[in-house]
Amino acid sequence: MALSNLANAALKPFGLHIQRTPKSVVDTRCLTLRPAGEPRGRVLFAYILEPLLHIDQAPAAGHTHNLESVLMAKTWLDRGFVVDAIDYRNNIFEPVEHYDWFTGARLYFAEVASRLPARARKIVHLDTSHFAVNNGEAYARLAACQRRRGSSPYDSIRLIEHSAAIDAADFGIVLGNKVTEETYGFAGRPLFRLDVPSVIECAIPEAKSWDHVRNRFLWLGSQGALHKGLDIVLEAFARMPDKQLTICGSFDHEPSFVEAFRTELALPNVQTTGWIDVAGEALTKPGTQQHCARLSLLRGGSGWRGRQLHQVRADPHCQSLLRD
């Protein structure tokens, strides 16, 4: 019998169990991309590695960060820099090259930056509000739901990992609006706001009947329904039975939210489609963009313009209902 089995047999009466720590599934490769001409320097780039393995192919449309990663890497290549790309979750990376620049996502940015010489300029990519602001707002929304409904859908908020990324950076690039940018103002670093790149382009529906869709609304989002305001949207539509709401998103990992809003989700004027591919045919089916007049977007601390951009790309004539 293995030693671990003997130990577990002895610990079982006490309700204890020893198990092997699973191996890390983070990709620890370092991919080197070279510019067309003579290199003028070298960049360490930590973001989404997968699309860079096939950089000349269209990236997956499941999230804008795939296209962001490709565009950022190509920007350095176009300017003559060799790019060493790693996964942004690779916190064990040990530099062996001499880098002029380091650009990376906020997670583990400070840890990797601490292994680089001071002369290497450091740019952090910020895709959401500072964790102190984001997490405070997340808990506030949860507490508000508790007060309104007597329930606590704890698995439906989005908490951001603690990070000293902005403190370790020389510059920051921000996805989001002025509110997002201001959450990093305390650090005194130069910040540059960027637009979220859209990964879809759709023609304006020619056969759209505005009289038919005037009272139809669309909510599009990923995980974190409470964090993104779906609770407030559902409560509003429960009071407006003449208005139709189509929800595009999956709640497989948010059972407490589904339970808390079971009544609203079952309303005859509320339809759920599950997760959809924003670059697929789902957006042209009845009940989605082509058949809606308004978009329901209640931001929760992240760069909300990504969802807005995808929705408006699918129908530029849609009206957005935004709440900061």
Give the whole-angstrom CA distance, residue 186 versus residue 166. Answer: 10
- What does the pLDDT look like over 68-103, one tens digit per residue? 999 999 999 999 999 999 999 999 999 999 999 999
Give the whole-angstrom CA distance, residue 189 versus residue 134. Answer: 19
The HSE-up count of residue 211 (CA atoms within 13 Å, CB side) is 0
Judge whether 103 and 43 are in contact, CB under 8 Å. Answer: yes
Total Cβ atoms within 10 A of residue 218: 25
Q: Residue 33: is it exposed, middle or buried by C-beta count within 10 angstroms (0-12/13-18/19+)?
A: middle
pTM for the complete prediction? Answer: 0.80
Domain 31-126+164-194: state its class.
alpha beta
Binning pLDDT at 50, 70 and 90, where does residue 312 land? very low
Give the whole-angstrom CA distance, residue 45 versus residue 105. Answer: 9
Common-topology check for domains 31-126+164-194 and 210-323: yes
Question: C-alpha distances in angstroms, 120 versus 93, 100, 114, 171, 212?
Answer: 16, 5, 11, 12, 58
Question: C-alpha distances in angstroms, 82 versus 73, 161, 245, 250?
Answer: 9, 30, 48, 39
- What does the pLDDT look like over 182-226, one tens digit per residue? 999 999 999 999 887 766 666 666 777 777 778 888 888 888 999
- What does the pLDDT look like over 152-183, one tens digit per residue? 999 999 999 999 999 999 999 999 889 999 99
For the ranges 64-68, 205-209, 291-295, 316-320, the lowest mean pLDDT is seen at: 316-320
- Confidence at residue 14, expressed as pLDDT on a 0 to 100 scale: 52
The domain locations on the chain are 31-126+164-194, 210-323
Grouping H, G, I as helix, E, B as strand and the rest as coil, residue 102 is strand
Q: What is the CATH number of domain 210-323?
A: 3.40.50.2000
